[in-house]
Structure 1
Amino acid sequence: MKFYTIVELGGKTATGMRVPPEVVEALGAGKRPAVSITLNGYTYRSTIAPMGGVYMLPVSAE
């Protein structure tokens, strides 16, 4: 599955990407699905997390 989003700053150092609810639903794995993310050619594994009423993917500053 592919979708486009923007990296957001959620505090002094916390960064993440908002995931649309319809994407989370389409994955069919609950509210914290494990995913593989490719960002600018770099691939990593993570989980989508509900935070403040939206779904987010964490992004490391490294």
Structure 2
Amino acid sequence: MILLGALAKGRLAELSRAALLPVLAISVLGGVVAIISGFMVWPMQANITSRWPATIS
């Protein structure tokens, strides 16, 4: 959508530029929901003290 809005001309480019902000806003909201649901599934203490498997020896 970004490339289409930047490189194309005409009605399609205008539509893609107009639709870009709502698409990005929905993506940010989806990311926030994913983070919040992750905190609801795992307790905060587990999130703070967990380590990557590669560092465990």
TM bracket, shorter-chain basis? under 0.3
Higher relative contact order (CA 8 A, sep 6+): 1
Give the greater-gyration-radius structure (CA). Answer: 2
Bigger helix share: 2
**TM-score normalised by structure 1 residue count:** 0.20
